[in-house]
Amino acid sequence: MIFDIPDYVEFIIDSLEEKGHEAYIVGGSVRDMLLGKRPKDYDITTDAFPEEIEYIFFNFKTINVGKEYGTIIISQEEGDVEVTTFRQDGRYIDGRRPEWVSFSSNIIDDLSRRDFTINAMAYNKKTGIIDSYNGRGDLGNKIIRTVGNPYERFSEDYLRILRAVRLSTQLNFKIEEETFNAGKKYGLGISRVSMERITKELFKILLSKTPSKGIRLLEEIGVLNIIIPEIVPTIGFEQKNPHHRLDLYNHILCVLDNTPPIIQVRLAALFHDIGKPKTLIIDEDGIGHFYSHDKLGAEMSKKALERFKCSNELIGKVYVLVKEHMNHHVNFKEKGLKRLIRRVGEDEILNLIDLQKADIKCSNKDASIDHIIERESKIESILKKEEPYEVNQMNINGKDLIDLGFKEGELIGEILEYLLEKVMEDSELNDREILKSMALKKFLPEC
């Protein structure tokens, strides 16, 4: 079997071989090529030591990202390639790193330390595929299986449990029974993994084609309460409302699957209803209501994302989407839509629409999203026409008002907000002279 490998990757392999070394593409890139996918990146393994790698590629920028573990990045215009020396690992003492690393001259030694069989294959044009652990067989059977004893593999690095879930979700593969059982046994060890590493795997799960599969696997393995404890109270939670055909957990997972793979939207889908268990009120007819669950959910999502070590920008986006997700019940006129765009932001307003569509679709089989589609059309029209909804979009500013004789201070902001309200009602008023006249008439009537 011959793979189509980019020239800049093949160049590294050829350069190493010209100096008498072995070199192979390894891991996920081989897996993806066997699945007919174009790898996002390529990793190379070689018997050359780190110093030899640096010497051979002295004309290129090299980045030492873990020389003690044999890893050097070779940077080229077309992309970076991670090159790692064949190695064997000693005993893992912290659930993440081996206590010692020994460089090897044998590719089989290197493959034996890898996590899953489908990631333990190597390839170059001279040798073809090296597959000592039947990775191709597991690919064909759509199975996630550890290399060797799963209990040893997971006890070495507990994050591998999440990686098994992530690969199962991304590839739609089944986790082999013994591997799954080992994951259940060592699941508590995930609490010892850094949150940054957990978040990276979780986000990959959330951005997969069917993220609900991954969330359900986290639940079944017994680690959902460690990673996303906010979701656990929704499991089996009956909403006691005729507008909801699913229990809360399954509703959330349905919404998750029906949103686009944009991380803030997927996170908002995951968290949009987590405030419901704490806000349930049963009325005299036995109907459940969840007043202000959107506001509580926004606060809860903020705390969860802070725990995930997310950026303030991402936290803010998710917070707003969760807080605003229930406004699809409001009959906004054009001015109200402009206020909504201002609150949510032009970059996120259509993401909110996508979240609301999914929320409605997953609530009741007879529910209609026609009103949301109509709202979407109106919002797109407002944006296309560049109708003002922000102060800085008006054809007047604070300096203009000061030139008219108004004093600097809070009054300037008050006047601009007043004018914006008028312009949002009628965009034809967005004329500098008209706005000046309106400001004078309202705030200096003697003029």
Predicted pLDDT of residue 446: 67
- 382 in the same domain as 320: yes
Of 249-253, 281-285, 299-303, the poorest mean pLDDT is in: 281-285
- 189 in the same domain as 163: yes
Let me know if residue 1 belongs to a domain. no
Query: How large is the C-alpha radius of gyration of the chain?
Result: 28
Measured distance CA(90)–CA(98) in Å, rounded? 5
- 132 in the same domain as 110: yes
- 206 in the same domain as 258: no
CATH number of the domain residue 324 falls in: 1.10.3210
Whether the predicted pLDDT of 47 surpasses 70:
yes
Taking only the tens place, the pLDDT of each residue in 173-193 is 999 999 999 999 999 999 999
Taking only the tens place, the pLDDT of each residue in 17-26 is 999 999 999 9
Predicted pLDDT of residue 95: 57
- 373 in the same domain as 246: yes
> Of 180, 205, 227, which marks where a domain is finished?
227
Taking only the tens place, the pLDDT of each residue in 121-135 is 999 999 999 999 999
- 137 in the same domain as 185: no
- 233 in the same domain as 381: yes
> Of 180, 199, 227, which marks where a domain is finished?
227
Range(s) of the domain holding residue 432: 391-443
Band (102; pLDDT cuts 50, 70, 90): confident
Predicted pLDDT of residue 70: 85
CATH number of the domain residue 216 falls in: 1.10.110.30
| Mean pLDDT along residues 388-398 | 95
Whether the predicted pLDDT of 447 surpasses 70:
no
| Mean pLDDT along residues 213-229 | 98
Predicted pLDDT of residue 367: 85
- 362 in the same domain as 438: no
- 156 in the same domain as 60: no
Predicted pLDDT of residue 88: 78
Q: What is the 3-state secondary structure (H, E, C) of the chain?
A: CCCCCCHHHHHHHHHHHHCCCCEEEECHHHHHHHCCCCCCCCEEEECCCHHHHHHHCCCCEEEEEEHHHCEEEEEECCEEEEEEECEEECCECCCCCECCEEECCCHHHHHHCCCEHHHCCEEECCCEEECCCCHHHHHHCCEECECCCHHHHHHHCCHHHHHHHHHHHHHCCEECHHHHHHHHHHHHHHHHCCHHHHHHHHHHHHCCCCHHHHHHHHHHHCCHHHHCHHHHHHCCCCCCCCCCCCCHHHHHHHHHHCCCCCHHHHHHHHHCCCCHHHHCEECCCCCEECCCHHHHHHHHHHHHHHHCCCCHHHHHHHHHHHHHHHHHHCCCCHHHHHHHHHHHCCCCHHHHHHHHHHHHHCCCCCCCCHHHHHHHHHHHHHHHHCCCCCHHHCCCCHHHHHHCCCCCCHHHHHHHHHHHHHHHHCHHHCCHHHHHHHHHHHHCCCC
Whether the predicted pLDDT of 138 surpasses 80:
yes
Q: Is the C-alpha dihedral spanning 215, 221, 227, 233 positive or negative?
A: positive
Domain count along the chain: 4
Mean pLDDT taken over the chain:
94
Let me know if residue 2 belongs to a domain. no
> Of 199, 227, 255, which marks where a domain is finished?
227
| Mean pLDDT along residues 227-245 | 93
Band (243; pLDDT cuts 50, 70, 90): confident
Predicted pLDDT of residue 217: 98
Whether the predicted pLDDT of 320 surpasses 60:
yes
Let me know if residue 327 belongs to a domain. yes
Let me know if residue 213 belongs to a domain. yes
Let me know if residue 49 belongs to a domain. yes
- 194 in the same domain as 260: no
Predicted pLDDT of residue 97: 63
Q: Choose between 444 and 228: higher pLDDT.
A: 228
- 168 in the same domain as 69: no
Measured distance CA(432)–CA(105) in Å, rounded? 76
Band (160; pLDDT cuts 50, 70, 90): very high
Whether the predicted pLDDT of 247 surpasses 60:
yes
- 206 in the same domain as 102: no
Of 176-185, 292-301, 359-368, the poorest mean pLDDT is in: 359-368
CATH number of the domain residue 110 falls in: 3.30.460.10
Let me know if residue 294 belongs to a domain. yes
Whether the predicted pLDDT of 91 surpasses 80:
no
Let me know if residue 31 belongs to a domain. yes
